Amino acid sequence: MKKLINDPADVVKEALQGVAAAHGDRLKVLTDPNVIVRADAPIEGKVGLVSGGGSGHEPMHGGFVGPGMLDAACPGEVFTSPTPDQMLEATKAVNGGAGVLHIVKNYTGDVLNFEMAADLARAEDIEVEAVVIDDDVAVQDSLYTAGRRGVGTTVLAEKICGAAAEQRRSLTDVADLCRKVNANGRSMGMALTSCTVPAAGKPTFELGPNEMEIGIGIHGEPGRERKEVVPVHEIVSMLATPIVEDLPFGSGDKVLAFVNGMGGTPLIELYIVYYELHRFLSDRGIEISRNLIGPYITSLEMQGCSITLLKLDDELTALWDAPVNTPGLRWGA
Amino acid sequence: MKKLINDPADVVKEALQGVAAAHGDRLKVLTDPNVIVRADAPIEGKVGLVSGGGSGHEPMHGGFVGPGMLDAACPGEVFTSPTPDQMLEATKAVNGGAGVLHIVKNYTGDVLNFEMAADLARAEDIEVEAVVIDDDVAVQDSLYTAGRRGVGTTVLAEKICGAAAEQRRSLTDVADLCRKVNANGRSMGMALTSCTVPAAGKPTFELGPNEMEIGIGIHGEPGRERKEVVPVHEIVSMLATPIVEDLPFGSGDKVLAFVNGMGGTPLIELYIVYYELHRFLSDRGIEISRNLIGPYITSLEMQGCSITLLKLDDELTALWDAPVNTPGLRWGA
Amino acid sequence: MSVSYSQVTDWVSAFAVAVAENKEYLTELDSAIGDADHGINMNRGMQAVVGKLGASTADDQTDIGALLKTVGMTLVSTVGGAGGPLYGTLFLQMGASAAGKPELSPQDWADALAAGVAGVQKRGKAERGDKTMLDALMPAVDKLQDALASGASFDDAVQASATAAQEGMTATIPLVAHKGRASYLGERSANHQDPGATSSWLLLRAAADTFSGNGAD
Amino acid sequence: MSVSYSQVTDWVSAFAVAVAENKEYLTELDSAIGDADHGINMNRGMQAVVGKLGASTADDQTDIGALLKTVGMTLVSTVGGAGGPLYGTLFLQMGASAAGKPELSPQDWADALAAGVAGVQKRGKAERGDKTMLDALMPAVDKLQDALASGASFDDAVQASATAAQEGMTATIPLVAHKGRASYLGERSANHQDPGATSSWLLLRAAADTFSGNGAD
Ligand SMILES: Nc1ncnc2c1ncn2[C@@H]1O[C@H](COP(=O)(O)OP(=O)(O)O)[C@@H](O)[C@H]1O
Ligand SMILES: Nc1ncnc2c1ncn2[C@@H]1O[C@H](COP(=O)(O)OP(=O)(O)O)[C@@H](O)[C@H]1O
Ligand SMILES: [Mg+2]
Ligand SMILES: [Mg+2]
Ligand SMILES: [Mg+2]
Ligand SMILES: [Mg+2]
């Protein structure tokens, strides 16, 4: 394992010290337990937005803390959901009296830890709502499973709900909006190479020199199937077809197209993916009216990409366009 | 070789089509020859800023075209300097009557092609100045060599000169400013893994499972030496020591610290690098007053990082802070 | 025959040792069907527990319930993932069941374990056969209760309980996961042993080793 | 004995074939001390040249200078890197030297090549011994001039010139590069053959093959 780290056990701690050193002017980094908070939190009368999850997906979530997006993020160990005390601390730190929304990706660990934290926060008289994001079409939903995973739509939900919270919308409103984003967003990813959890010291999985994994999870969990690598236009079709069929997205729809890099993917390749996605959607009469291209929800050094489509209406579009000022996503400010 | 591409020969073309599809509202993408231009170019009375180089370093340079930064970028084939006809076309497209500055990284190919282009542009009565960036301390300068390579300072020069050009400073002024940035910027990089040029189909170089290359070039050219991988605090010292000693940077200096990812490096690692760099500089009384952390001048999927330090004064700081609105770098707009 | 406060401490310590020894193995199992962190997570948590218990200077070692709650709270705040809330809940509910008790009778032990496992089931909403830690824990509880009901010695009962956990663990191999990260694998999760069931077997084996033979008095 | 318009075309085509055949080899050499693109670049350029010459319907094949200029311009606008301007300049300067000529005498050929190589030197500001294409080109020009001056046949002169290029190419192996990307390697650039010198040898060998023996008339 070759990484730019010191001791694997210190990865999260030292990265947070880096965040504190780099962005101390606008973010507070709490330790014991670890929380990244807007420097100006809590904001009186504003719904507080809290998310969190395992580390290794940067810039998500810590890089999305700031005006117009999250109020706080709870970084867990690498690929491990954070603990309830982190979420409780974050919830208290951002509670400006209008309640706190927990944006939770649908993984058992995230859900369970956020549940415990919400119970603890409510016991301290903080109003908490939780919305679970489950947008990954790779693994089909069923009564008997933990449900779909939460992936790319999380980034979009954090941005859009962040904008709504800045408008001082109520907790119920912002939570409903979050559910609406989740209901209109679909994602699927793929990997060309594995990632390596620092504490594990070796690749999570092995892919042959000509293999790819379609439907990969952001922790390197395997997905739908392992295949021979094919030209990217076929890969885009393998990802976009189930996405489009699932919602479904159809002719006349306007979408936000999010082409995400898994962490080790050259940006030039993501633009080729975007080119193919643009063609794929044009052929079906689906119009891309907004886009986001880059590594925003990553899996350490994994090479690969994911595609997220979010059906847009005027409300979502306006909230997407609203100013945001975070280390990871910034415009209009 | 596993990549998200179709035919290796079409990588640059299709990525540019992706750029056109994604950013057509604010960028024009010319083909034959390939140039990325601000949609509103040429701007009457503003010095035009043109840069360019091989592709594979994205977002540099194409991602830096827009208000407050470049007016046009010329993308060559992967890791291959673009051709004079591209630069001539770009120069003509951005010439608003105040002349055009070519920002050239110091590689023989870039220098020669930009020289030919400048000759051609001058023959068409366009005033052209060229500034060559040569900030890489990895390879020492000497009378007998082609000189130092141009790396991270290029990004900073494009941002800072872009801001100056927006203020309608003269070509001489902006060119002098560019030389000032170059004179005050120093960089050095390292690699944990190789990159693979799509048309070559295999890694440019091989590093053992425990080896790293110190002083790597952004095209995978070897640098100073090959070593056993060590903890990142030692790596930062190996990169920052020659940088600090070269200018030299000393106690009381304020700097912009730029921690750059080579394309395949997880962001969490770059924050650890930043943490170590912050400690390294603090120990020497050097104050980081601005920072930039992320993959901005990349080498395809190479894992590794580079550090750039730029000595700041009030002028450079103000120009750095000025609004910029490009796909790759954006604030205040 | 009963379980003393210090034996409960010994059990927790023995589990910590077993987790440390099997850290790579548990992570390996998790990388096949999950996200390669179960051993790392459990070890981080159990090391924190060991630190906590070692630092505790309470002379008053009379409340096994309080001890188990401390273990549970420590796991909840250091493990993360699914394992943290689930093992945390297991110990918290065992602690509630054993609240105030200076020692546990065989039936107290069985009741506490049953309460803990019921807590895991309630928190995680999984069923037996979902390929989770419950597949080791539930047979272990059943076997323990049955053995005690049929008059077996405590020694034999805890041994039988550990064996049932082991069988339950092994039985996860052919199963298709329906809960946790492995569930996303569908059919591909079969032919792999569940990491959580494996750590649960270590937990029950540690109990058998600590409480039986010259371990128990 | 002279070089006709169609022989010049043949020479250019033969060079294109040689570059295509040695594309991987040239790139391999460049990856050892440069950026792994020399073969790819030169091949892209020479394929464009072949396309251009094939498409040209000029009946009027009287101006070898114009032909060489077209080759040069095509290389300048398709190769990029250092190779583009350098090989482009080589052909452009050869074209200037041969301007208006329908055929080239041996001395015309030698003068054209000398002009091209002088152009390369002026553009790239490299010296002999800097481990560049000049280390193949300059000995080739010298040998060609010397051979003709000492009364050798054109056949022998072009063969001698190619041999000198080959020797110059091989002599780049121990050299430490002072120009181009390889210069950043310092001492580590020694023990590797320069890719540009290698493509230049292919150029001169193509000339020898095309102009000598039954090639030249
Ligand atoms: N809903 C659930 N109920 C009971 N046990 C579960 C549940 N989900 C997961 N588990 C157990 O948790 C184990 C994984 O724990 P761990 O790797 O620490 O957490 P994570 O899955 O968050 O990475 C699984 O092997 C399984 O035994
Ligand atoms: N200044 C120079 N003068 C002459 N030849 C040079 C010079 N710099 C580089 N070269 C030649 O160019 C070759 C490399 O060409 P190429 O790989 O196409 O371009 P780049 O170095 O830009 O990638 C080198 O092997 C060397 O022979
Ligand atoms: Mg986990
Ligand atoms: Mg090159
Ligand atoms: Mg796990
Ligand atoms: Mg080269």
The pLDDT tens digits of the residues spanning D64-87 come to: 999 999 999 999 999 999 999 999
| Residue listed under structure tokens 């001056």 | D149
- Ramachandran angles phi, psi of B291, nearest 5°: -145, 160
The yes-or-no verdict on residue D213 having pLDDT over 70 is no
The yes-or-no verdict on residue C217 having pLDDT over 60 is no
CATH architecture of C3-211: Alpha Horseshoe (1.25)
> What b/e string do you get for C174-187 counting C-beta neighbours within 10 Å, with b at 16 or more?
ebbbbbbbbbbbbe
User: What single DSSP character describes residue B217?
Assistant: -
Those residues whose C-beta lies under 8 Å from the C-beta of residue A36, and which sit 6 or more positions away, are: A16, A19, A27, A28, A29, A30, A61, A62, A65, A72, A73, A74, A75
**What is the spatial distance between Cα B298 and Cα B216, in angstroms, rounded to a whole number?**
12
Task: Name which of A264, A276, A330 is nearest B330 (Cβ-Cβ).
Answer: A330
Closest CA to B254 of B290, B278, B210: B290
Q: DSSP string covering A78-102, please?
A: ETS---HHHHHHHHHHH--SS-EEE
User: What single DSSP character describes residue C122?
Assistant: H
- Whether A204 sits inside 8 A of C44 (CB atoms) is no
Residues of chain A with CATH 3.30.1180.20: 185-321
CATH architecture of B185-321: 2-Layer Sandwich (3.30)
Q: Is residue B278 flagged as an active site residue?
A: no
| Residue listed under structure tokens 């200077």 | C57
Put simply, whether A53 touches C (Cβ < 8 Å) is no
Q: Which residues of A touch B263 (CB under 8 A)?
A: 264, 266-267
| CA C137 – ligand 5 centroid, Å | 18
- Cα–Cα separations (whole angstroms), residue B230 to A6, B89, B214, D168: 8, 47, 11, 42
Cβ–Cβ under 8 Å, residues B162 and B324: yes
| CA A221 – ligand 1 centroid, Å | 13
Those residues whose C-beta lies under 8 Å from the C-beta of residue A241, and which sit 6 or more positions away, are: none
Put simply, whether D123 touches B (Cβ < 8 Å) is yes
Q: What local confidence, expressed as pLDDT, does residue B144 receive?
A: 59
- Whether A272 sits inside 8 A of B11 (CB atoms) is yes
- Which residue from B80, B81, B108 has its CB within 8 A of the most atoms of ligand 2, so it is best to mutate? B108
Taking the CA atoms of residue B270, residue B272, residue B274 and residue B278 in that order, the dihedral angle to the nearest 10 degrees is -170
| Residue listed under structure tokens 């048309």 | B199
Tokens coding C72: 């549970």
Q: Is residue B219 flagged as an active site residue?
A: yes
In angstroms, the first-to-last Cα distance of chain A is 40
- Domain spans of chain D? 3-211
pLDDT band for position C212 (cuts 50, 70, 90): confident
Q: What are residue A211's DSSP bridge partners?
A: A228
Q: DSSP string covering chain D, please?
A: --EEHHHHHHHHHHHHHHHHHTHHHHHHHHHHHS-S-HHHHHHHHHHHHHHHHHH---S----HHHHHHHHHHHHHHHT-TTHHHHHHHHHHHHHHHTTT-SEE-HHHHHHHHHHHHHHHHHHH---TTSSSTHHHHHHHHHHHHHHHHTT--HHHHHHHHHHHHHHHHHHTSSPPP-SSGGGGGGGGGTTS--HHHHHHHHHHHHHHHHHSGGG--
Half-sphere exposure of A319 (CA within 13 A, CB side): 25
Cβ–Cβ under 8 Å, residues A84 and A121: no
The yes-or-no verdict on residue D215 having pLDDT over 60 is no
Q: Which residues of A touch B214 (CB under 8 A)?
A: none
Q: What local confidence, expressed as pLDDT, does residue D214 receive?
A: 46
**What is the spatial distance between Cα B27 and Cα B38, in angstroms, rounded to a whole number?**
5
Task: Name which of B2, B22, B233 is nearest A274 (Cβ-Cβ).
Answer: B22
Closest CA to A217 of B241, D166, C184: C184
Question: How confident is the model over B295-319, as pLDDT tens digits?
Answer: 999 999 999 999 999 999 999 999 9
Strand ranges (E), chain C = 3-4, 103-104
CA A33 from centroid of its chain's CA atoms: 21
Question: How confident is the model over B25-70, as pLDDT tens digits?
Answer: 999 999 999 999 999 999 999 999 999 999 999 999 999 999 999 9
**What is the spatial distance between Cα B225 and Cα C163, in angstroms, rounded to a whole number?**
57
Of all atoms in ligand 1, which is nearest to the CA of residue C30? 17
Q: What are residue A306's DSSP bridge partners?
A: A189, A260
Question: How confident is the model over A101-123, as pLDDT tens digits?
Answer: 999 999 999 999 999 999 999 99
The yes-or-no verdict on residue B143 having pLDDT over 60 is no
Q: What local confidence, expressed as pLDDT, does residue D57 receive?
A: 64
Peptide bond before B222: cis, by omega within 30 degrees of 0?
no
* This prediction's pTM: 0.95
Bridge pairing between strands A211-214 and D3-4: unpaired
- Whether A15 sits inside 8 A of B272 (CB atoms) is yes
Q: What local confidence, expressed as pLDDT, does residue A173 receive?
A: 98
Put simply, whether C84 touches A (Cβ < 8 Å) is yes
Amino acid present at B226: R
A276-283: long-range pairs with CB below 8 Å, 24+: A276/A232, A276/A233, A276/A235, A276/A236, A276/A237, A276/B14, A277/A236, A277/A240, A277/A307, A278/B18, A278/B21, A278/B22, A279/A233, A280/A236, A280/A237, A280/A240, A281/A240, A281/A244, A281/A255, A281/A257
**What is the spatial distance between Cα C49 and Cα C95, in angstroms, rounded to a whole number?**
15
Element (H, E) at B260: strand B254-261
Q: What local confidence, expressed as pLDDT, does residue C214 receive?
A: 46
Q: What local confidence, expressed as pLDDT, does residue B220 receive?
A: 87
**What is the spatial distance between Cα B321 and Cα B160, in angstroms, rounded to a whole number?**
9
Q: Which of residues 32-51 of C touch A (CB under 8 A)?
A: 33-37, 40-41, 44
What mean pLDDT do residues C152-160 have? 96
Closest CA to B297 of B197, B155, B123: B155
Question: Does ligand 1 lie within 6 Å of residue A200's CB atom?
Answer: no
What mean pLDDT do residues B121-145 have? 87
Tokens coding C106: 């065989």
Q: Percent of chain C at pLDDT above 70?
A: 96
- Whether A264 sits inside 8 A of B6 (CB atoms) is no
Q: Exposure of A251 by Cβ count < 10 A (0-12 exposed, 13-18 middle, 19+ buried)?
A: exposed
- Looking at per-residue pLDDT, the higher value among D74 and D61 belongs to D74
- Ramachandran angles phi, psi of C58, nearest 5°: -55, 110
- Cα–Cα separations (whole angstroms), residue A127 to A41, A67, A130, A175, A179: 17, 21, 10, 12, 18
Positions of A marked catalytic: 57, 219
Cβ–Cβ under 8 Å, residues A311 and A184: yes
CA D48 from centroid of its chain's CA atoms: 16
- Ramachandran angles phi, psi of A173, nearest 5°: -60, -50
Tokens coding B224: 């100073």
Question: How confident is the model over B199-224, as pLDDT tens digits?
Answer: 989 998 889 999 999 999 999 887 88
Task: Name which of B115, B139, B200 is nearest D27 (Cβ-Cβ).
Answer: B200
**What is the spatial distance between Cα B270 and Cα C68, in angstroms, rounded to a whole number?**
41
Cβ–Cβ under 8 Å, residues D92 and D76: yes
Q: Which of residues 97-116 of D touch B (CB under 8 A)?
A: none
| Residue listed under structure tokens 């990244």 | A36
> What b/e string do you get for A290-301 counting C-beta neighbours within 10 Å, with b at 16 or more?
bbbbbbbbbbbb
- Spell out the per-residue pLDDT of chain A, length 333, in tens: 999 999 999 999 999 999 999 999 999 999 999 999 999 999 999 999 999 999 999 999 999 999 999 999 999 999 999 999 999 999 999 999 999 999 999 999 999 999 999 999 999 999 999 999 999 999 866 555 678 999 999 999 999 999 999 999 999 999 999 999 999 999 999 999 999 999 989 998 889 999 999 999 999 887 888 999 999 999 999 999 999 999 999 999 999 999 999 999 999 999 999 999 999 999 999 999 999 999 999 999 999 999 999 999 999 999 999 999 999 999 999
Residue from B23, B61, B102, B219 carrying the catalytic annotation: B219
Put simply, whether C6 touches A (Cβ < 8 Å) is no
Q: Which ligand is nearest to the CA of B78?
A: 4
The yes-or-no verdict on residue D121 having pLDDT over 50 is yes
Q: What local confidence, expressed as pLDDT, does residue B147 receive?
A: 86
pLDDT band for position C15 (cuts 50, 70, 90): very high
Question: How confident is the model over C106-133, as pLDDT tens digits?
Answer: 999 999 999 999 999 999 999 999 999 9
Q: What local confidence, expressed as pLDDT, does residue B317 receive?
A: 98
Nearest CA distance, C205 vs chain A (angstrom): 25
pLDDT band for position B142 (cuts 50, 70, 90): low
Taking the CA atoms of residue A118, residue A121, residue A126 and residue A131 in that order, the dihedral angle to the nearest 10 degrees is -20
Q: Exposure of C60 by Cβ count < 10 A (0-12 exposed, 13-18 middle, 19+ buried)?
A: exposed
Tokens coding A100: 């706190």
Question: How confident is the model over C42-55, as pLDDT tens digits?
Answer: 999 999 999 999 87
Residue identifier of the C-alpha nearest atom 8 of ligand 1 = C180
ipTM of the modeled complex: 0.94
- Ramachandran angles phi, psi of A30, nearest 5°: -90, 150
The yes-or-no verdict on residue D216 having pLDDT over 60 is no
Q: What is the crossing angle of helices D64-78 and D83-97, to 10°?
A: 170
Those residues whose C-beta lies under 8 Å from the C-beta of residue B230, and which sit 6 or more positions away, are: none
Question: How confident is the model over D144-201, as pLDDT tens digits?
Answer: 999 999 999 999 999 999 999 999 999 999 999 988 888 888 888 899 999 999 999 9
**What is the spatial distance between Cα A223 and Cα D188, in angstroms, rounded to a whole number?**
45
Q: Exposure of D60 by Cβ count < 10 A (0-12 exposed, 13-18 middle, 19+ buried)?
A: exposed
Per CATH, domain B8-184 is 3.40.50.10440: yes
What chain A residue is nearest to C33 in terms of C-alpha separation? A221
